[in-house]
Amino acid sequence: MKLKKIAALLLAVLMVFALVACDGSTNETTKKPEGGNTPATTQGNQGGSELAGTYEIKVWCAEKMVDLTTNQIKAFNEKNTDGIVIKATVQNVSEGEAATQMITDVDAGGDLYCFADDQFARLVQAGALSKLGTQASEFVTTNNDAGAVKAATINGEIYAYPMTADNTYFMYYDKTVITDPTSMDKIIADCEAADKQLCFDVGNGWYLASYFFGAGCSSDWSTDKDGHWVVNDTFNSDEGLIAMKGMNKLMSSPKFDSKSNAAEFDNGAAVVVSGTWDSSTAKSILGDKMGVAALPKYTVDGKDYELGSFMGYKLVGVKPQSDAVKAAVLHKLAQFLTDKDAQIERFNTANWGPSNLEAMKSDAVQNDPVLAAVAAQAQRAVVQNVPDGWWNLAAALSAKAKETGDEAALKEALKTYNDGVELLKNLKPGLLFVGAWNGWNNAVVEDTYILTGDGDVLSLTLEVPESDYMGGRIVNNGKWESDKGQAQVTTGKELIKDLSPEENGDNNIVFVEPGTYKITINTTNNEITLEKVG
């Protein structure tokens, strides 16, 4: 008995504590949920003294950059004319970790953080990136390389600032062995003649994509705001077959090796396909013999194709803020940290290739052979925009190309790849219309009505049967939001009953008469159009 009392008392203490704690949170519900639309006076430009003040922020960047970033922020404090003083705690958080941590808990994350572009889509989905205003978007588009801007854009809106553009691969080679670095066949022949290895890790999806891009295929996966895939994958095609044959030719050579690592130059390699991270290794081993070039052309059936590559970018993101002034300050700082001078500084300190167009043209960058190769390769590079599950599908392709050059088998492998892509795609079946007449069933795809379409506008033609309650709404598969129902219908309001929220708590679209209807939704603003077609 006493034990229970003690336990109960302790629970009481906990409750009191919870009471204290949650008192603070009750204040959060008192903000008005409307989007404020104050008339635009000076569009885009912030007045000087509005932003003045001292701000304490947390900045996350890679270990190499901690000192540099601290200095840059100090420089910002001195140089800015708005009276902004930033007190920054710069913490050493690697790019991958920053992304994961922001996704796990946005609130506890850094106000400014650096991340790699492959996490971009996930960060936007998790609400961890603050959208750029008009002026900031202009800053990004005018100053940076097109690929970098694309990497920071989703659905036409920019959510981050590009910082570097150098994560791609190209060819390091031994000048004394390789006579013609522009033709893959000649390179293979040279290596075989000199009995040296050709190291190109085509077993890895990241590298093998070069063959496919060279042949003209693409694999571009983007998610729109609602989380469904917009996929453009053309690997399963004749061009894809050409790429497979090219890979098979490469991998059948006895001098082919799959270790894409510049240390292999020590082990009897003459060619290593690798990236900027290996430049110092390659330089130290080969010295003057080192040659760097963009990837060569490969030949299949007499035609030449230039090998493409994936390109990775590093971006700087701003945590979403609820205070517009602080947001403005952070964006200003972010722009300062990613403008031409800052990027050149980074290049000078750590050899990070800039994404800023002017910086790329600067002498310092052009004179570095590695970065010149990067710039050359960048012409044919493609932003990496594939989901996690894609890599294994790709690896299976190269495993098959290694085994055989038989056309039928290669085609079979491409088809298997395509099936895998379809599977990956369909896991997010997008928007559905669920109605009372199908049991509100949105768990089984076959029983639901899928809205399809290109780009932002999706539509569906649907037969509404006669029943007591002809109500339904548009949802994402598995969710049950309340913002794609009656309130969103802009055209065709006369076709549905106008019910008050008390009667229609779930915001359903309740049709007046049975019949065939066409339902269209614009996914950018969630506006729904209804038409009766039968």
Partner 1 sequence: MKRYTDMEYLRLSKGRKFLYKIAAFFCAIPRGLKNFFLGIVRAVVNFFQSIGREFADIFTTFVKGDWKTKLSYLVMGFGNIARGQILRGLLFLLFEAVFIVYMIVAGAKWMSMLPSLGKVGPHEVYNAVLDQYTTEYGDNSFKILLYGVLTIFFIIAFIYTWRVNIRQNKISEQIIKSGKPLKSGGDDLRSLVDDNFHRTLLALPMTGILIFTVMPIIFMILVAFTNYSGINDGYANNLFTWVGLDNFNTLLAWEGAGNVYSATFGEILSWTLIWAFFATFTNYFLGMFVAMMINKKGIRLKKLWRTILVLTIAIPQFISLLYVSKMFDKNGIVNGLLSDLGVIRQNIDFWGSTAHSALLPRVMVIVINIWIGIPYLMLIATGILMNIPADLYESAKIDGASGWKQFSKITLPYMLFITGPYLLTSFTGNMNNFNVIYLLTGGKPINAAASSAAGSAGYTDLLITWLFKITTGEGAKYYMASVIGILVFIVVAIISLVVYNLLPSIKNEEDFQ
Partner 2 sequence: MNYYAIVNNTLEFIKENALIVGIIAAFCVVAITVGMWKVFQKAGKHPWMAVIPFARDYTLTEIGSTGLIGVLAYVILPILGIINLNGIRYFYDLNKGASKPIYAILFVLGTIFLAIALFFHVLSSIKLSNAFEKGTGFLIGLILLPPVFLLILGLDQSKYVRSVSTSLGLKASRAISNTLIHIVLVIMAIIWLVPFVCIVLQSFRTETKPDGTMITWIVPDVFPKKWGLDNYINLFKSDFVDWYLNTFIIAAVVALLQTFIVLCMSYTLSRFRFKLRKGLMQFMLILGMFPGMLTMIILYRVLKDLGLTEAHAVPGLILVYVASSGMGYYISKGFFDTIPKTLDEAARVDGATRAQVLFKIILPLAKPIVIYTVLTAFMAPWGDFVFARYIAFGDSSGMNAAVGLWKWLTQDMINLRYTMFCAGGVLVAIPVAVLFMCLQKYYVEGVTGGAVKG
Judged by beta carbon distances under 5 to 8 A according to partner kind, the member of partner 1, partner 2, none in contact with residue 14 is: partner 1
- Got the DSSP string for 177-193? T-S-TTBHHHHHHHHHH
Choosing among partner 1, partner 2, none, which partner's interface includes residue 277 (Cβ < 5 to 8 Å by kind)?
partner 2
Among 94, 125, 351, 524, binds partner 1 (CB under 8 A): 125
- Least Å distance, CB 534 to partner 2, is 50
Please name the residue ranges forming H helices in 356-389.
357-361, 363-367, 369-378
Contact pattern for partner 1 over residues 466 through 505, marking x by CB under 8 A: -----------xxxxxx-----------------------
Contacting range for partner 1; rule: CB under 8 A; set: 301-309, 322-330, 364-372, 520-528: 322-330
d(CA 360, CA 374): 10
Which residue, 109 or 246, has its beta carbon nearer to partner 2? 109
Closer CB to partner 2, 5 or 79, in the complex: 5
Rounded distance, CA 287 to CA 280, Å? 10
Contact of residue 91 among partner 1, partner 2, none (CB under 5-8 Å per partner type): partner 2
Strand 219-223 relative to strand 303-306: parallel, antiparallel, unpaired? unpaired
Q: Which listed residue (216, 227, 405, 492) binds partner 1 by CB under 8 A?
A: 227
DSSP category for residue 144: B
Nearer to partner 2, 17 or 480 (CB): 17
CA end-to-end distance (rounded Å), the chain: 72
Query: Does 134 interact with partner 1 (rule: CB under 8 A)?
Result: yes
Residues whose CB is less than 8 angstroms from the CB of residue 402 and which lie 6 or more positions away in sequence, other chains included? 203, 247, 248, 251
The nearer residue to partner 1, 46 or 70, going by C-beta atoms, is 46
Burial call 168-207: b when 16+ CB within 10 Å, e when fewer: bbbbbbbeebbeebebbbbbbbbbeeeebbbbbbbbebbb
Binding residue (CB under 8 A) for partner 1 from 285, 327, 365, 373: 327
Strands (E), 34-98: 53-61, 84-92
Minimal distance, residue 398 CB to partner 2, in Å = 16
d(CA 101, CA 95): 10
Q: In the complex, what is the shortest distance from the CB of residue 101 to partner 2, in angstroms, rounded to a whole number?
A: 5
Binding partner selected for residue 122 from partner 2, partner 1, none, CB under the kind-specific 5 to 8 Å limit: partner 1
Q: For residues 82-101, which are near partner 1 according to CB under 8 A?
A: 100
Binding mask 441-460 for partner 1 (x = CB under 8 A): --xxxx--------------
* Packed helices 324-337 and 66-79: angle between N→C axes, nearest 10 degrees: 120
- DSSP count for the chain of H helices, then E strands: 17, 25
Mention every residue, 6+ apart, whose C-beta is less than 8 A from residue 173. 181, 187, 270, 271, 272, 290, 291, 292, 293
Could you give the C-alpha distances from 427 to 200, 229, 423, 424, 440, in angstroms and in order?
33, 9, 7, 6, 20
Per the CB < 8 A criterion, the answer to whether 428 and 477 are in contact is yes
In the bound complex, what is the minimum distance in angstroms from residue 507's beta carbon to partner 1?
A: 11
Q: Please give the residue ranges that form the binding site for partner 2 (CB under 8 A).
A: 21, 58, 60, 62-64, 89, 91-94, 96-97, 101, 104-105, 108-110, 261, 263, 277, 280-281, 283-285
196 touches which of partner 1, partner 2, none (CB within 5 to 8 A by kind)?
Answer: none
User: What residues numbered 390-409 form the site for partner 1, per CB under 8 A?
Assistant: 391-393, 396, 399
CB of 504 to partner 1, least distance (A): 15
Q: Quick one: tokens of 209?
A: 């994509």
Total of residues contacting partner 1 (CB under 8 A): 93
Structure tokens at 84: 């902004």
DSSP state of 195: T
Q: Nearest distance from residue 254's CB to partner 1, in Å? A: 12
**Residue 525 interacts with which of partner 2, partner 1, none, CB < 5 to 8 Å by class:** none
Q: Which residues within the stretch 233-292 sit at the binding site for partner 1 (CB under 8 A)?
A: 259
φ, ψ of residue 256 to 5 degrees: the values are -75, 135
Residue 473, Cβ neighbours under 10 Å: how many?
Answer: 24
Q: Nearest approach, Cβ of 142 to partner 2 (angstroms)? A: 30
Which one, of 272, 309, 271, 298, lies nearest residue 182 by Cα? Answer: 298
The distance of closest approach from Cβ of residue 109 to partner 1 in the complex, given in angstroms and rounded to an integer, is 10
Q: If you ran DSSP here, which 8-state letter would residue 35 be given?
A: P
Q: Which does 281 bind (CB under 5 to 8 A by kind): partner 1, partner 2, none?
A: partner 2
Q: Of 96, 254, 389, 465, which lies in the binding site for partner 1, with binding defined by CB under 8 A?
A: 389
**Which one of partner 2, partner 1, none interacts with residue 209, CB within 5 to 8 A by kind?**
none
Footprint of partner 1 on 201-220 (CB under 8 A):
none
Q: Which 18-57 residues touch partner 1, going by CB under 8 A?
A: 18-19, 22-23, 25-26, 28-29, 31-46, 50
